[in-house]
Amino acid sequence: MASLKELKGRINSVKSTQKITKAKQMVAAAKLRKAQEAAEQARPYAARLAEVMGSLASKITISENSPKLLAGTGSDQVHLLVVANSDKGLCGAFNSNIVKAALIKARKLEAEGKTVLFYLVGRKGRAVIKREFPKQIVHEFDTTGVREPGFNEAEQIADELVALYDKGTFDIAHLFYAKFRSALVQEPTGQQIIPVPAPTAAPAAADAVTEYEPEEEEILAALLPRYLKTQIFGALLENAASEQGASMTAMDNATRNAGDLIQKLTIQYNRSRQAAITTELVEIIAGAEAL
């Protein structure tokens, strides 16, 4: 059985940990609202841009002369998985869930005889992927020192992906991130970003006669890189909100668990202390009777 001094030390240690988790929870809660608003505000623009691209794509016939980001390379052999993680821990299963979804996709593609490559964003989750696919990491995008990844980082990532695509490094790229649903739910999501999937149907408003100047293909060639940057930027915003939500939930659970542990240790301490006092009293009474 642990001594009274050891129990008291453990109680003080857990109390110190509880203060840290409580502070981390409050910080995450404060950041969550701002990150959630940013993610929600970005969704309408991305949706409207997708509608415009759908309208344009429905008016052209995809051929060899079409923009490469839309037409593709004509092959689907090499797949690049862009895995977006955070640089910080203490956010529960947020990063591991994204990595898990990417690994499931990678194994499925390899089972189909495809070649899989990885483009990693953020430090967390790299170790697991490097352990399973050590020679298939194309690039690691470093976000260390960046307070919150924003459009500049999304633009750099998009430019690097387009450069790799133009070199013929891969045929299809998939983006993996966590879509924010609520503070309790962050949904691991994977979507194809290169070549840009053509919408299955044009929006209802496209029934009106619309004339484009310049031609549709020329507009698409200019919009496709912007669309790619918007998709990556939206994923980074969703990740930021999801990270804070997961962190707040994880730290709340940690704080509650610390409180339960403190209560149990306190009870154990009081029982041990009471037993020690009882033993001393018995010894004193026995000694007095001996005299």
Q: How far is Cα 97 from Cα 177, in angstroms, rounded to an integer?
A: 9
Q: How far is Cα 28 from Cα 106, in angstroms, rounded to an integer?
A: 32
230 within 8 A of 51, measured Cβ to Cβ = no
To the query of whether residue 42 is one of the catalytic residues in this protein, the response is: no
Of the residues 56, 91, 158, 258, only one is catalytic, namely 91
| Size (the chain), residues | 291
Phi, psi at 40, each rounded to 5°: -70, -35
E-assigned strand segments in the chain: 78-84, 115-121, 137-141, 172-180, 186-194
Helix/strand/coil for 72: coil
224 within 8 A of 69, measured Cβ to Cβ = yes
Q: Which amino acid is at 96?
A: S
Q: What is the largest CA-CA distance in the chain?
A: 114
Give the catalytic positions in this structure: 91
